[in-house]
Amino acid sequence: MRPPEVADLYGAAGDAEVLVVGAGIGGLACAVALSRAGFDVRVTEQAEELREIGAGLQLAPNAVKALCHWGLEEAVAAVSVVSQSVEYFDLDTGEHLFSSVLGLAAAARYGAPVHQIHRADLLGILADVLPAGTVTLGRRATDFDVRDSGVTVRFADGGTMQTQLLVGADGLRSPIRQQLARPEPPRYTGTVGWRGLLTRERAEALGFGHACYCYLGRGRSIVLYWLRSGEVLNVIGFVPVDEIQRESWTESGDVDSFRRSFATAHPRVRRLVGSVESAFITGVYDREPLDVWTDRRVTLLGDAAHPVAPYLAQGAGQAIEDAAVLSAALSAQRGPTDSRSWTGAAASAALTHYERTRRPRTTKLQAVARATESFWHERDPEQIHARNGRFRGITRIDPLGETVWSWLFDYNPVTQSYDTSASRSAGITSSREYHRLARAGSQQAMEAWRGAFTPGDYAAGWKGLRRAYERMLTTVCSPAPGVCTEHVDAGGVPALWVRPQGRHPANPVVVLYLHGGGYIGGAAAAGIDLAARLADAVNGQALAVDYRLAPESPYPSALDDAMCALRWLVERTEHETKIILAGDSAGGALAACAALRARDEELPPVAGVYAMSPLADLSLGSPSIDEREGTDAAVSRDLLTDMSACYLQGRDPQDPYASPAFGEFRGTPPLLVHAAANEGLVNDATRLVERVVATGGNATLRLYDDEVHAFQLFRFSPDAAEALAEFGRFAHSWLNRTAPAG
C-alpha cells in the first residue's frame, strides 16, 4: 500500500504514467512536452521551492524550435533578448577576431533566433503552463527498482511511487544516473566561473551594444550577453581555480579576486570587471559520454545523461532537445490515446529509440564543448596566434559562421527522426553510415576515411584532425617492405628521400611529393607509401616535403616550403634530372600552385604536375561540395571551411597561389588531374582542368567511378594501381621535352 503522504499527494488519479525526477529546465521541459502530447506526467523535485539560482542562459535556434512547438514563443520573447551578433575578441589586445550574425539573420537561416534569457524566467514560463499539481517539491528521489511491469521510485522521506516510465532529469549528480550508469564522480575541469550582472546604463556607458561578446585570453575568458529585455548585461568570467577560493552558486565571491584575474586584460574589459559589484562563483564540471543511459523503463535526460561544459551555451538547449525527442519517441510507441498501460517491450523500444536518436549528437557536443574550453583558454603564445588567425579566416570564408554553428542550429528536435539523426550524425562523421560503394576495395577505402576521425578528433579542431589523419595514414597506408628513406634538409625544409627497393640514388627522375591533409595535417613520414608508389610509377625516386602546417604557419608557408625544396632539387641535381610535382588533396593544389610560382620565378621548368583530388578552390565555390554532402566520407563543407580558414587566415581565397582554380597557366608544365567522380571535390578537379586549358596550358582529366577522395592513398583501392600507371605513362610522355606546354 502506498504511504499516506504519497496517496494524499497524487490523490485518486492513481500512479503516474511518466515520473520525471528533477524540476530544473530539463525536467520541466520534459513535463511540458509530455503533457502537451497527452501523457499523464508528474515531476518531483528535492528543493523546497521552485527556483533556479544563477543568472542567464542562451537558447539557440535548435532549442527555440521546440519552445515554439509547445506554444511558448511569445512568453519567451517577452522576457528575453535577441542579440544581433556574437563578437569575438582577443582578451589582452582587444583585437576583433570574428563576428557571427544572430538576430533576424539567424532566424532566417536556421528557422528561429537566438534568445538570451534569465534562468528563473525560463523556469517560470515552463512551470506556468503545466497542469496544476504536476510538480511536487521537497521530495528527493534516492533510488528505484525497475521490473517488466513498472518502476518503483523511493524517496528520502521513506515514501515510494509507482510509475510506468521513469525519467531521471536530476542534474549533474543524479541519483538516478548513479544507479543506472557508471558511478564515477563528475569531472572537474579546473576552471571556475564568475557570474554577475551590470545595469543597462552602466554597460552602455562602457560601450557594449546590442550583441553577445566573447573575449578569449590566456587560460581565461569573459562572455557577455543581455537579459531581461535588455535591462541587464550578464557577465561570465572563466578563470583557473587556483585564482579563487570558493566555488558555490550560493556564495558571493570576493570581486577583488575577480578583478585580479583580469588585471592584464584590455582596458575596456578591466573597466567592465571593475564595474561588477557582486558575483557568484561555481566550478565547471562535465562527464565522459555514456555508452548507455536507458534500462527498460528508465532513462536519463539533460545533465543527468550528458552534462556539458558551458562554452557552447547548449546545456539548457540540449535538455530541451531531449524533451522534444523523448516525447516524440513515446508518442510513436504509445497505443490508443486513452491507454496508459505500457508493456515492457513498448517502453523499452520507445526509450531505446530516444537514446539512439540523441546520443550521437550529445556525445559530439560534450566533446566539442570540452575542446572549446582548451581552444578558448590556450596558454601557448604560438597557439593563441594560431587560434586568432583561424577566427580571422572563418570571418572571410564563412561570414555567417555556419561552420561554427550550423551543426547545432540546423537541428530541429521536433521533426528529427532516428534515421536522419543517427545515420547522418550531424557533424560527427562526414558521411551517412548507410551510404556504400559498389566494389569491396572502394568500400574498404570509404571505411578507412569514415573511421579515421572519431568524435573527439573532430571536436578537438585542427589538433585532433591532425593527429587522426596521420594515425590513419600510418596504420592503413603503411609502406611496403624494402622502401628506403633518408632524412634531408631540402633548402631549410625537412624532407624525406623515398626510394623503392633497388632504385639507385642517382636516378634522373624525381617526384617532388606534397602530402595532403588540408594544410592542417599530414607529414612526409605518413605519406611514404604513396610517395614510393609514385616514384615506382616513373622508375625514379621521390622527395616528400614536410612543409609547415596551418594554423601555426598560415599561407604562404606551405607554398614557400614547397618552393624551397624545388629550388634545392634544381640546384643539387644534374641538368638531365627531370622533376615532377605531385600531390594529393591539398598537396595536389599545392603542386599546381608551385608550378605557377616556378614559372613566375623563371625556374627551370619541371616535367609535369600530377594532382590527385586537388583542393583547388579555397573559396569553396564548387557545387559538388554540397551535392556530395553526406556521401563523401573524407570531406564536408564544414571541414573544408575550417581547413581553408586555418590556412588563409583572412587572406584572399581566390589568390592563385592558394587556389589554382583561379590561376593563369600559360607557360606552365602539363597537368594530369585524377579524382573520384562521386567525391565532394570533383568540381575542384574539373574546374582546375578547365581553367588550365582556358588560360593556355595543357591539362588532362580522368574521373574514376565508385571511388573515394584521394583513392591513390590506398593501395587496396581498385583503381589505385591503374591511376598510378596512367601517371607513369603521362610522366614519361613529357620527360624528354625541355619546354613547357603553351
Strand boundaries in 246-372, DSSP class E: 280-286, 294-295, 298-300
Residues 6+ apart with CB under 8 A from 594: 512, 514, 559, 562, 563, 566, 581
d(CA 222, CA 235): 7
For 189, the grid coordinates are: 575541469
For 676, the grid coordinates are: 573520384
Asked whether 72 and 197 are in contact (CB, 8 A), the reply is: no
pLDDT for the residue numbered 2: 32
CA-derived radius of gyration, the chain:
29
Residue found under cell 578537379: 685
pLDDT for the residue numbered 337: 56
d(CA 48, CA 250): 15
Among 677, 674, 620, 671, smallest CA distance to 645 is for 620
d(CA 538, CA 379): 47
pLDDT for the residue numbered 728: 95
d(CA 340, CA 281): 44
Asked whether 657 and 589 are in contact (CB, 8 A), the reply is: no
pLDDT for the residue numbered 574: 64
The CA–CA distances, whole Å, from 713 to 282, 673, 716, 723, 724 equal: 49, 15, 9, 11, 11
Mark whether 225 is an active-site residue.
yes
**Mean pLDDT of each 10-residue bin along the chain, 742 residues long:** 33 67 96 95 90 77 96 95 91 92 83 92 95 93 91 94 95 91 83 91 91 94 93 93 61 79 95 90 86 94 93 94 96 71 90 93 88 88 89 84 83 72 40 77 94 79 87 88 93 95 75 97 95 95 97 96 96 80 98 98 94 97 92 90 93 97 97 97 98 98 97 97 97 70 42
Hey, is 529 helix, strand or coil? helix
Q: Which domains does the chain have, with CATH numbers?
A: 4-397 (3.50.50.60), 465-734 (3.40.50.1820)
d(CA 87, CA 368): 20
First to last CA, the chain: 95
* Dihedral over Cα of 161, 167, 170, 175: its sign: positive
Hey, is 636 helix, strand or coil? coil
Q: What is the DSSP string of 638-652?
A: HHHHHHHHHHHTTS-
d(CA 100, CA 395): 8
Residues 6+ apart with CB under 8 A from 722: none
Residues 6+ apart with CB under 8 A from 508: 540, 573, 574, 576, 577, 578
pLDDT for the residue numbered 537: 95
Q: What is the pTM of this model?
A: 0.83
Q: Which one is catalytic: 88, 215, 225, 647?
A: 225
d(CA 124, CA 548): 54
Asked whether 620 and 640 are in contact (CB, 8 A), the reply is: yes
